[in-house]
Structure 1
Amino acid sequence: MSRTVLVSGASIAGPALAYWLRRHGMTPTVVERAPEPRPGGQTVDLRGAGRTVIERMGLEPAARDRVTHEEGLRFVDARGRVRASFAADALGGDGFVTELELLRGELADLLYQHTRHDAEYVFGDEITALTDTGEGVDVRFRNGSSRNFDLVVLADGLRSRTRDLVFADIARTRSFGLCTAYFTIPRSTSDGRWARWYNAPGRRVVLLRPDNQGTTRATLSFLTPRPGLERLNRPAQQEFLCRHYSGAGWETPRVLDEMVRAPDFYFESVGQMRLERWSRGRIAVVGDAAYCASPLSGMGTSLALVGAYVLAGELGRQHDHDDAFHAYETLMRPYVEQAQKVSWLAPRLAAPKTRAGIRLLTAAARVATRPGAGRIAARFTNPPSDAIDLPAYPPAGQGGARGACGGSSTPG
């Protein structure tokens, strides 16, 4: 009898983990608080080892069918003039924009469609209590039901409530003092196939990115000493943004007007998750719930995909879940630590306080576009997405442990 594994979260890490668990002979169940797969979302990229995992799943052609066709990134001034441009193939093709850019919801849906026939999905519910009995994990759900699983993996977000049921005493969040609002707005004639980055004085940024659905993805990012904005309700957050971005210039008034009508408005305080360990007994964490590196790292998608691949692979290879969890952490920890090496200065350099600072930023960006400076710039802009040697895990029945419930294994 194969291990039964409950996975909490159906964004990217959760469905990816379900795929690899099934491939290694286990029985995954995925529970998701949202009533259905979440569509849309902002743009993510497939690069480095994360892209390798997608290739090993056989999903790269399907991912290419869903790309946003973004041609690159342009820094613009208040009059819309381009001050610096980075095409998708700039900086070795692994810089600000890559050839495989797609919406987070599109990637999540791709993974869900690829796994929904081989894994049980439970939408509109969430875990409210976890009890590790030593022989399994008793799980209570919000709908009042209870079930037992051999293992539980928490694959939620940075501020996962389910993670805090088990790991609250060892979880530490690193804050950058940066807040970001994401939402979708109607496409304008000024929106082409290039992402446009605009800096306003006061450490305020407006980013507009094209998608593949005929709309534009807007991001408002700003540095602030004021804590707790992420805990305000949506009207209060939007009221704050309208005040904070008043007089910012460029296309900001259009963005603010459309923001109040956006169906997918989301606001967050950007941070990193630091956990002393990623498992306790029969319960483990993966993805943002375990080691969110923040959007500043450019590594969130890679960490989610690679973490799911390694965790499932070790559970399939190891006789004992403790050994598997230890091996997973041993292999992933250096990769995560590289991704989390984001300087406190990074958002401050990207969002200067003064007009003089903005001019200096755009001047530096123009220098980075020159052929001779590209390699040097790439050292600072390209994330360490390839900084791990991915093991080759044979699927169940082709050698290695199959991870039986009782802890024994049968050679393939």
Structure 2
Amino acid sequence: MEKQVLISGASFAGLTLAYWLNKFGYRVTVVELGKDLRTSGSPIDVRGEALDIAREMGILDQIKASEFVHTDEIVGAEDQTLATFAINTLPEYLGDIEIHRGDLIKIIYEAIPKDEVEIVFDNSISTLVEHEDHVEVCFEKGERKTYDLVFGADGTHSIVRKLTFGPEEAFKKFLGVYFAFAGTDQIQTGRPKSTGIVYRELGKQAVIYQFLNGVNTILVFRAPKLDWNYRDREQPKQILRQYFGGNTNWKIPEILDSMLGADDLYFDEACQIQMPVWTKGRVGLIGDAAYAPSFFTGMGTSLAMQGATLLAKELHANEDHQTAFARYNELFKPFVERIQARVTYSLKVQLPETEEELQASLKAWSDSQ
């Protein structure tokens, strides 16, 4: 009998898992809180084994065709160039592919046959009740259904993790950093298109990514734990005003003004999700819901694709889902822990806290030219 599964979250992890489970004969439903795919966001990296997975999925050529090749600059407070480099050509990045987030989401989404996989937008899970042979799910819009297995691929603030494992705070390691992202097409940089520009000062970073169809900006800053609600659309704007208002360095005033008026402003805290196990009963977690490494590692997307693929293949190879779940935890955890350990160094480079660290960061990029 065809097993029915529910995946909460239609991003890299959820869509990759949906692709593979459908291929392996499961009846798959994906539920996504957003009204559509979230295609905004900064460029992301596809690395290592994730490239092999893309090849298996038949989407590697599309990813290569959409590669974001760019020159990067580190600039000072007066917009003077301090260092220029092409990150795609640096030894540690050779073979990796950088791509706009929205391009990769669309590529994976289009690889899923919509006549076989049901994808429901603008809804979410409200309750999960596990029984011996199924999971009963109630959705926010009132519908109630049963599934053989349920998977949380719903990000750092996963509702599936909360309902199954407990409060987010029990598994979240806050990194002392917040970030904001928005599309801000009106900012002019005086540089060629496909140029990434980075400005750093102690505890803060501002980034402008230019590409053919627009400009994306990011503000990142160190801060103590703030009392904020991630579903509140106005509170992040108040926080950004508090930390960047009055800062006249580089293009921060323009970036801030644009973000405060942007419809697509995304704000969150930088953190990692660290859990002893990612499965319980008939429920499993993947991607940021299970092991968010933080964007400072550059590995969130690759981990999402790798974890989803490994879990799907173990379910395909083992009739008993508990055996598959155990192998998923056992095989993937050592790799996840190595990736998460990288964050300390990355934070020191990208958000230096002392003048000495700042100068060392600038010198490292200058030496790479």
Identify the residue that residue 217 of structure 1 maps to in structure 2: 216
TM-fit CA distance, 1:40: 2.0
Q: 1:276 to 1:199 in 2, by over 3 A?
A: same
What are the residue-to-residue correspondences of 1:5-404 with 2, within 5 Å? 5-67=5-67, 69-92=68-91, 94=93, 100-115=97-112, 116-168=114-166, 171-186=170-185, 187-192=187-192, 193-201=194-202, 203-212=203-212, 214-229=213-228, 231=230, 233-245=232-244, 246-344=246-344, 346-353=346-353, 357-367=357-367, 369=368
Letter in 2 for 1:103: H
| CA distance 1:48–1:99, shift in 2 (3 Å) | closer
CA shift, 1:226, in A, is: 4.3
Give how far 1:343 is off. Answer: 4.5
| Structure 1 vs Structure 2 CA RMSD | 2.1
- Kindly state the Cα deviation for residue 261 of structure 1 after the two structures are TM-superposed: 2.0
Counterpart-to-counterpart distance in 2, 1:41 and 1:157: 14
Give the conservation status (yes or no) of the 8 Å contact 1:8–1:32.
yes
| Range with bigger deviation, 112-121 or 183-192 | 183-192
| Counterpart residue identity of residue 278, structure 1 | W
* Alignment deviations for residues 238-291 of structure 1 (CA, whole Å, 9 cap, x no partner): 233234222241111111121122121011110000111111111111111011
User: Does the C-alpha gap of structure 1 residues 194 and 126 become closer, same or farther in structure 2, counting only changes over 3 Å?
Assistant: same
CA distance in structure 1 between the aligned counterparts of 2:342 and 2:38, rounded to whole angstroms: 28
Contact 1:64–1:100 under 8 Å retained in 2? yes
Q: Secondary structure at the match of 2:142?
A: coil
Q: Is the 8 A contact 2:54 2:60 kept in 1?
A: yes
For 2:45 and 2:24, locate their aligned partners in 1 and report how far apart those are by CA, in whole Å.
Answer: 27
How far does residue 61 in structure 1 lie from its aligned partner after superposition? 1.6
1:377 is aligned to: none
Query: Which of structures 1 and 2 has the bigger CA Rg?
Result: 1
Amino acid of the residue matched to residue 200 of structure 2?
Answer: N
Query: Which runs of 5 or more residues in structure 2 are unaligned?
Result: none
Deviation, structure 1 residue 111: 1.4
Q: Matched residues in 1 for 2:349 and 2:45: separation? A: 23
**Where do 5+ consecutive residues of structure 1 fail to align?**
371-412
CA gap 1:356/1:290 in 2 versus in 1, 3 angstroms: closer
> In the superposition, relative to structure 1, how do residues 326 and 161 fare at CA in structure 2: closer, same or farther (>3 Å)?
same
Task: Mark the CA change 1:236 to 1:141 in structure 2 (over 3 Å): closer, same or farther.
Answer: closer
In structure 1, distance between residues paired with 2:7 and 2:101: 19
Q: How big is each residue's C-alpha offset from its partner over 1:93-149, in whole Å with a ceiling of 9 and x where there is no partner?
A: 617xx7622222222222112113331111111111111111111111111111111
Q: Counterpart of 1:195 in structure 2: which amino acid?
A: G
Matched residue, 1:374: none
Which TM-score applies when normalising by structure 2?
A: 0.92
Give CA-to-partner distance per residue, 1:60-94, whole Å, 9 cap, x none.
12223333x33132211122222223313433261
Contact 2:348/2:357 (<8 A) preserved: no
Report the Cα offset of residue 41 of structure 1: 2.0
Whole-Å separation in 2 of the counterparts to 1:64 and 1:335: 25
Q: CA offsets per residue over residues 303-360 of structure 1, 9 Å max, x none?
A: 1000111111010010200001111111111111111103546424422345564333
Q: Distance in 2 between matches of 1:176 and 1:78?
A: 26
Query: Share of identical aligned residues, percent?
Result: 30
Aligned residue for 2:155, secondary structure, equals: coil
Distance 1:145 1:2 in 2: 22
Greater mean alpha carbon deviation, residues 244-253 or residues 353-362: 353-362
The 3-state SS of whatever aligns with 1:25 is coil
Aligned partner of 1:332: which letter?
F
Counterpart contact for 1:70–1:195, Cα < 8 Å: no
Preserved contact between residue 151 and residue 160 of structure 2 (Cα < 8 Å): no
Q: What amino acid is the match of 2:108?
A: L
SS of 2:226 mapped into structure 1: coil
What is the total number of aligned residue pairs between the two structures? 364
Match of 2:274, SS state, is: strand
